[in-house]
Amino acid sequence: MSKARLLVVEDDPNLGDILQEYLSMKGYETILCRDGEEGWSKFKKDKFDLAILDIMMPKKDGFTLGKEIKKVQEDLPIIYLTAKNLKEDIIEGLRIGADDYITKPFSMEELLLRIAAILRRTQKSGETQSLKVYQFGDFELHYDEQYIKSPSGDHKLTSKENELLRLLASETNKLVNRSHALKQIWGDDSYFNARSMDVYLSKIRKILKEDPKVQIITVHGEGFKLIVSE
């Protein structure tokens, strides 16, 4: 099995060198860039399995780089590193599709565990066998092609939206436990992942408003239901 390729963009020379040495020692092919522009240039030339981006960097900050990467490769997992622990940063990271968010200082062991969990999740997603089209109300979820067909047209879904909607559509009118959904799609039920799921549910709900017979309801303290009325 080939090594996973990691793009690490970190302007702190000491931390950058430590990350590259440690992750390489742990079996990852690790490409280190010193600023956002160098990271963008390297991303365009090579193929990566995961990106680790510092937020505060010269020339091009991590959020800007992350947005550019997602426009080209939406399913590339991104872990953000930051010296700050601000709610605004977390929300911005979620908005542009962050897979994880680690506040400095952090242990290398913790980072390694998070990388492994994300790569396992994306590998499983890539190996998922073809599934039928899920139909509910006026909608069709085309899981393999990662879009939902609605009365107004087709809506492209992110990988997380696609997985979440598939889980709900496969359990129509049944309770989907919140913790179960988080562990199955995100790998664990941490606060960060819970906030991320809430953001994706909000986006899905906006699409489902086209059919008043279909809605996602929250069962307080338990989870969610995709309700499809006759």
Q: Is the pLDDT confidence value at 128 over 50?
A: no
At residue 129, the pLDDT reads 44
At residue 60, the pLDDT reads 92
Q: How far apart are CA 25 and CA 203, in angstroms?
A: 40
Average pLDDT for the chain: 87
Q: Is the pLDDT confidence value at 130 over 60?
A: no
Q: Is the pLDDT confidence value at 115 over 50?
A: yes
Least confident of 188-192, 198-202, 208-212: 188-192
Q: Is the pLDDT confidence value at 124 over 80?
A: no
Span 37-89, pLDDT tens digits: 999 999 988 889 999 999 989 889 999 999 999 888 888 999 998 876 666 66
Span 89-106, average pLDDT: 75
Span 102-112, pLDDT tens digits: 888 889 998 99
Q: Is the pLDDT confidence value at 96 over 80?
A: no
* Domains by residue range for the chain, with CATH: 5-127 (3.40.50.2300), 134-228 (1.10.10.10)
- The answer to whether the predicted template modeling score (pTM) of the entire model surpasses 0.75 is no
